[in-house]
A = this chain, B = another copy of it.
């Protein structure tokens, strides 16, 4: 990845004499989703650092008492002016934390409360390494390596070097099946979306952003591990399920759900990161790249739905149109 990310990581870990004990992630909706892989990575790999992942308005109203001069806070807002996210950055600085702000908008209000400013590129889903999700994951892994004995940075670097190619190939690979998916499911009013591990953020994101926000379809994200503890009781031949089958340690959870769905459901779309080439990345870190791959691949699924629905992905009835 870029030197810029490394430099940011090296600066923020020196904050408050290098006594960093916590890394927080706060944003809203799609930006919050993009933070999940980094948050998950720290939850899994950190031996000392603690972490938190908050929708910004909750972070603003119930600011964790641990937040302070020993904290790094990531804040992301595509428009850069989401009031809750801007307020989160303000609070974080007020408490003495060092803030890393990401936005697409160089004039963002968010940047007023940013110790580190990242104005990212957008729109080319094939250069994922310029997207906020990948940038945050890169910086986060560098932070952990700087503060603890995490030693998988070479594998991460190799993963970032390969991921654009993997994603580009996957996008080509899924063209026929995404068209068939849209054809088959064009009249479905509701989808359940399953996933696990680092992918679960985008499982949720596909439900709330791609289906609910962009296609006005009913949707619910279900963790593959939780599926068997309640949600599976609604399963039948009529209900459509999309399963993001991850590569990595939680693959067993997804496979268990798929096995059940193949028996009791009839409308099941499995999107398999392994089959789409993610295993080209070293198995020590590949699982953290699942969401990077899934994000772009699932953009193809939603684009085909938008085409067949003749419902542009840009149409909103409330967001940015009415007061709320």
A56 and B230 contact, CB distance less than 8 A:
no
A226 and B197 contact, CB distance less than 8 A:
no
B217 and A234 contact, CB distance less than 8 A:
yes
**Cα distance, A207 to B229, chains bound together (Å):** 12
Q: A28-B226, A190-B218, A208-B226 are in contact. Are A233 and B62 (CB under 8 A)?
A: no
A125 at the interface (CB under 8 A from B): no
A249: B residues at CB distance < 8 A: 61-62
B65 and A253 contact, CB distance less than 8 A:
no
**Cα distance, A124 to B198, chains bound together (Å):** 39
**Cα distance, A22 to B45, chains bound together (Å):** 15
Return A150 CB to nearest CB of chain B, in Å: 9
Count of residues in A whose CB is under 8 Å from the partner chain: 66
A253 and B66 contact, CB distance less than 8 A:
no
Q: Which residue of B lies closest to A221 (CB)?
A: B220
Task: Render A214-231 as a binary contact track against B, CB cut-off 8 A, 1 for contact.
Answer: 101111111101101111
A322: B residues at CB distance < 8 A: 264
Task: Render A305-324 as a binary contact track against B, CB cut-off 8 A, 1 for contact.
Answer: 00000000000111100101
**Cα distance, A217 to B91, chains bound together (Å):** 41
Return A199 CB to nearest CB of chain B, in Å: 11
Task: Render A42-73 as a binary contact track against B, CB cut-off 8 A, 1 for contact.
Answer: 01111110111001111001101110000000
**Cα distance, A209 to B228, chains bound together (Å):** 11
Return A46 CB to nearest CB of chain B, in Å: 6
A219 and B216 contact, CB distance less than 8 A:
no
A264: B residues at CB distance < 8 A: 318, 322
**Cα distance, A322 to B264, chains bound together (Å):** 11
Return A77 CB to nearest CB of chain B, in Å: 10
**Cα distance, A302 to B218, chains bound together (Å):** 22
Q: From the candidates B51, B64, B207, B225, name the one contacting A220 in the complex (CB within 8 A).
A: B207
Q: From the candidates B51, B250, B260, name the one contacting A61 in the complex (CB within 8 A).
A: B250
A277 at the interface (CB under 8 A from B): no
B29 and A226 contact, CB distance less than 8 A:
yes
A221: B residues at CB distance < 8 A: 220
A96: B residues at CB distance < 8 A: none
B317 and A55 contact, CB distance less than 8 A:
no
A127: B residues at CB distance < 8 A: none
A181 at the interface (CB under 8 A from B): no
A35 at the interface (CB under 8 A from B): no
A29 and B230 contact, CB distance less than 8 A:
yes
B66 and A47 contact, CB distance less than 8 A:
yes
- Can you list 28 A-B contacts with CB-CB less than 8 angstroms, sorted by A residue number? A22-B50, A28-B226, A30-B229, A32-B226, A44-B64, A44-B65, A46-B64, A46-B65, A47-B66, A48-B66, A50-B66, A55-B225, A55-B226, A56-B225, A57-B225, A61-B197, A61-B249, A62-B250, A190-B218, A212-B230, A212-B231, A213-B230, A217-B234, A219-B220, A228-B319, A232-B324, A233-B316, A233-B319
When A and B form their complex, which 3 residue pairs have the shortest distance between CB atoms, in order from nearest? A29-B229, A50-B50, A220-B220
